[in-house]
Chains A and B, each alone.
Chain A
């Protein structure tokens, strides 16, 4: 794939992400990507990705440990750089999580992270697998009313307070937000880097914003 110059992507390295697979996907799509945890690394990029595999507690602790919260707040609110949170990364952008009640999230988006409650006996937790995702408003990722299939793997889910921040939802268990977007802050519960064609398309749409 031809390298697209002038667009630099930074994956935030806070020891809580499956960085290798995300980096592979972004490079496969032809973008220049840097894995960073420094202020200068974040400053130098055009768009950010906050990955996430792990617990809410681990995520917030690691962000604090690396002094990343201030660097990220500046990039997101002052420099207005787009940022995409993936799975745990998206969850950390909310206020709190049932998974780690003693820890506050970044509070960039109104909402909480709730435990997935099975709707019936056949409803397994964690929610693992390819599931339908419904886009409910106009957005840059897929047309309104469209349905895509992405790979999910999580025991806690996004509960977004303001309907206007919800871009897509998934009906598993009692249903939850699959994609949220508020200004330059975007989050997805699924793993686009592991969702093959549809996921790579989602990622490409973010990278081309």
Chain B
């Protein structure tokens, strides 16, 4: 039967790996922490804020290097605006693209990518935060800085109608918190869409992964916590989940 997935998120700032907290680059770490052998998928995101002319090139160089020894699926995103940006990523060895802001500003962009590369090649990433005075969640774009008028589910349904193959839902508040995934936010998406759902933001330990699979019902859990990246820790995480009868690739 199909396995649940643990997805490692690598966030790059000007071509260097950075850990983030509430979407801000927090501190850099070296690639010796990276483990491309136990993760089920890798998502590489360019979170560079300032945009010097050659900033994308640093990211492309990092991707090219990563794809040489990455024999698991590699998704990439961060500032993808045009079909040429998408073409470039596929040329570098990327398998799926992750789109966010541009997709909301122009949902036809999702359709364009899906028509050329297939729906399974498009992951629409949705970042959300709870409104201060209610329990309602709202979608944010531009690295979590600009509020939109939509709820995550409203946008997810539109994205899927335009050809999104997977939805990645991220809690801005929980990013880097190590407190666990935002259950209410994630569950609403998982229970109401028919495409695979990846949940992100807040994973701190193996129990969060377990909850993500068994209680939230996610198809994939994402983590960018560097402490999950050592050979031993990812292996430990998987052994823990197998003991909980969660189908996972060992």
Contacts and interface: CB of A to CB of B under 8 A. Distances in A.
Given A53-B95, A172-B2, A193 B117 contact: no
Given A193-B71, A194-B72, A88 B118 contact: yes
Interface of A: 18, 20-21, 24-25, 28, 53-55, 58, 88, 118, 121-122, 124-132, 149, 151, 153-155, 171-172, 191, 193-196, 199-200
A21 B93 contact: yes
Given A20-B93, A154-B120, A155-B120, A55 B72 contact: no
A21 B96 CA distance: 12
Contacts of A125: 194-195
Nearest to A194: B73
Given A18-B95, A151-B73, A129 B196 contact: yes
A21 B2 contact: no
B120 A124 contact: no
28 contacts: A18-B93, A20-B92, A25-B71, A28-B69, A53-B90, A54-B117, A54-B118, A55-B118, A121-B194, A124-B194, A124-B196, A124-B197, A126-B119, A126-B166, A126-B195, A128-B166, A130-B2, A130-B3, A132-B1, A151-B73, A153-B95, A153-B121, A154-B118, A194-B71, A195-B71, A195-B72, A196-B37, A196-B71
A53 B3 contact: no
Given A18-B95, A124-B195, A199-B71, A129 B116 contact: no
Contacts of B219: 124, 128-129
Given A126-B195, A154-B120, A194-B95, A55 B68 contact: no
Contacts of A130: 2-3, 5, 40, 249
Nearest to A27: B68
A194 B1 CA distance: 18
Interface string B49-82: 0000000000000000001111111100000000
A interface: dominant SS: mixed
B interface: dominant SS: loop
Contacts of B121: 53-54, 153
Given A18-B90, A54-B117, A118-B194, A129 B5 contact: yes
A155 B71 contact: no
Contacts of A121: 194
A128 B194 CA distance: 12
Contacts of A155: 118-120, 165
Contact of A20 (B3, B91, B166, B217): B91
Interface residues of B, number: 39
B236 interface: no
A154 B118 CA distance: 8
A201 B117 CA distance: 27
B103 interface: no
Contacts of A128: 120, 165-166, 196, 219
Interface string B106-150: 000000000111111100000000000000000000000000000
B195 A24 contact: no
B220 interface: yes
A24 B116 contact: no
A28 B71 CA distance: 10
Given A20-B91, A153-B95, 8 more contacts: A53-B95, A125-B194, A126-B196, A127-B2, A132-B2, A191-B73, A194-B72, A196-B37
Contacts of A200: 71
Contact of A24 (B93, B117, B119): B93
Nearest to B5: A129
A122 B196 CA distance: 9
Nearest to B90: A18
B165 A126 contact: yes
Contacts of A129: 2-5, 40, 196, 219-220
A24 B67 contact: yes
Given A53-B90, A130-B3, A196-B37, A58 B116 contact: yes
